[in-house]
Amino acid sequence: MSSETQSHLARGLKNRHIQMIALGGAIGTGLFYGSAASIQLVGPGIIVSYIIGGFVMYLIMRMLGEMSTEEPVAGAFSHFAYKYWGEFAGFLAGWNYWFLYILVSMAELTVVGIYVAYWFPDFPAWLTSLIVLVSITAINLINVRLYGEAEFWFAIIKVLAVIGMIVLGLVLIVFGLGGEATGLSNLWAHDGFFPHGMWGLLLSLVVVMFSFGGTELIGITAGEADDPKKSIPQAIRQVMWRILIFYIGALTVMMIIFPWNQVGMEGSPFVTIFSKLGIGSAANILNFVVLTAAISVYNSGIYSNGRMLYSLAEQGNAPKVFTKLGGNKVPYVAILFSSACTLVVVAVNYLIPEGAFMQVMAVATTAATITWVMIVLVHMKFRKAHAQDVGKLTFPAPFYPIANYFCIAFMAMIIVMMTQMESMRMAVIVLPVWLIVLYVGFIFRGNTRTAAAE
């Protein structure tokens, strides 16, 4: 990023913002809506799926944390890929990450329509997506000064909602509300803890990994703090464990109080469960929370997409027109272009309203996989470059290089498992096409630079 962008971010994000934005970014659609898909694949074993996925993400975040602590720069793994691997690696990392957050924004817009349908079932999902897109884009164009504070409070709402859901669920389990306590039998009463065996567990990991998408922002965002050697390790340790507690805690409670085979995809499983249990007010409150959460993540997506495109243009990796700023110092061209790309999901919702989320999630998962694999590979190159002073590293990642090879093998397994799922198979086909597009774009950029130099 440019120094202008870095200083803006440094002034706007305090440590409490870093902690809550990181939490809020991870506690979103993957937990509130996407978990329904993984529950259908693995049943109560979803608890184990999230433990496995969380462990892998913790290892990857430690690798990113090691590099970000030693070189706390905005751009994080894109910068490291460029410095330790090469020019194309940096180009690929930056554009792929922008593309990933376009997809995340699309996923959030998709589920907004589903949540609104809980109250207004006849209101078109595509129209809901369009209204939110136009409104949030307008807000980002008018004023971004309060972004950190707004996202802080959005995250507070989400975190408090998950805590409240866990507490209410525990009351139902132990005491019951106007009826018998549910007990623990739902964990094994419906064809066992792993109703579809180990195959179901492996398939569920694909959907679970989408839920952890965005956690890499911990290292990137923490890198903007005043004291990176303290804040980055603190952010990674605290936020990763909090995410695991929230995900695993919430899903464990969910699997105990309600039969897994009755959790559908018609809305947020949290809302569905409390609604079917007859706790209408709790269901309405939760639906409001998950709707707010989706809009919040979309707001963050539009903001970060605009800034990342602006950053790519500053680096010479995107057209210079994206560096244009409005009178309020907002990169309006980059924001409008990113928003226009996100607009595709409105058409997707219109054409395939029943399967839009899974299609978008599939492509987003492949893009996230590219990002995570690059972090792991770049970390290996980073270690080789610092082979003489490993003992001086402030926040060394554990189990190097075994952890690196393990994470690469895990990501390869995720891609293979995607080919076994009809809703995900097309995304695997798109993956090499996307990499070819990026390479062609890199060559074109190089030729354009050469022509300009002449």
In the structure, what pLDDT confidence band is assigned to residue 352 with cuts at 50, 70 and 90? low
Residue 3 domain-assigned (yes or no): no
pLDDT of residue 36: 75
CB within 8 Å of 86: residues ≥ 6 apart: none
Q: In this predicted structure, which of 202-211, 360-369, 388-397 has the lowest mean pLDDT?
A: 360-369
- What are the tokens at 26? 């991870």
pLDDT of residue 382: 94
Above pLDDT 70, what percent of the chain?
76
Residue 451 domain-assigned (yes or no): no
Q: How far apart are CA 205 and CA 418, in angstroms?
A: 10
pLDDT of residue 146: 58
Report the CATH number at residue 102: 1.20.1740.10
- What are the tokens at 442? 């890199």
Radius of gyration of the chain, Cα coordinates, nearest whole angstrom? 22
Task: List, as one string, the DSSP characters of 219-260.
Answer: HHHHTTSS-HHHHHHHHHHHHHHHHHHHHHHHHHHHHHHS-G
Range(s) of the domain holding residue 365: 15-384+397-441
In the structure, what pLDDT confidence band is assigned to residue 398 with cuts at 50, 70 and 90? very high
State the total domains in the chain. Answer: 1
Residue 29 domain-assigned (yes or no): yes
Task: Measure CA 3 to chain center.
Answer: 26
In the structure, what pLDDT confidence band is assigned to residue 7 with cuts at 50, 70 and 90? very low
Alpha carbon distances (Å) from 337 to 322, 333, 344? 9, 6, 12
Residue 7 domain-assigned (yes or no): no
pLDDT of residue 229: 77
Mean pLDDT score of the chain, rounded to an integer?
A: 78
Identify whether the C-beta of residue 414 lies closer than 8 Å to the C-beta of residue 49: no
Residue 314 has pLDDT above 80, yes or no: no
Identify whether the C-beta of residue 31 lies closer than 8 Å to the C-beta of residue 227: no
> Which of 300, 292, 288 has its CA nearest to residue 342?
300
pLDDT of residue 8: 42
Residue 394 has pLDDT above 80, yes or no: yes
pLDDT of residue 6: 42
Alpha helices in 326-421 (DSSP H): 332-342, 344-351, 356-385, 402-418
**Mean per-residue pLDDT for 202-210?**
87
Residue 452 domain-assigned (yes or no): no
Residue 36 domain-assigned (yes or no): yes
User: Greater confidence, 151 or 23?
Assistant: 151
Residue 223 domain-assigned (yes or no): yes
pLDDT of residue 306: 80
**Mean per-residue pLDDT for 89-107?**
84
Task: Measure CA 433 to chain center.
Answer: 22
Measured N-to-C along each axis, helices 197-211 and 46-70 cross at an angle, to the nearest 10 degrees, of: 40
Q: In this predicted structure, which of 154-163, 246-255, 268-277 has the lowest mean pLDDT?
A: 268-277
> Which of 90, 96, 130 has its CA nearest to residue 113?
130
**Mean per-residue pLDDT for 157-175?**
80
User: Greater confidence, 171 or 409?
Assistant: 409
pLDDT of residue 21: 62
In the structure, what pLDDT confidence band is assigned to residue 3 with cuts at 50, 70 and 90? very low
In the structure, what pLDDT confidence band is assigned to residue 132 with cuts at 50, 70 and 90? confident
Identify whether the C-beta of residue 217 lies closer than 8 Å to the C-beta of residue 134: no
Residue 450 domain-assigned (yes or no): no
List pLDDT tens digits, range 36-81: 778 888 889 999 998 999 899 889 989 988 988 888 765 567 778 8
Residue 290 has pLDDT above 70, yes or no: yes
pLDDT of residue 226: 61
Identify whether the C-beta of residue 70 lies closer than 8 Å to the C-beta of residue 84: no
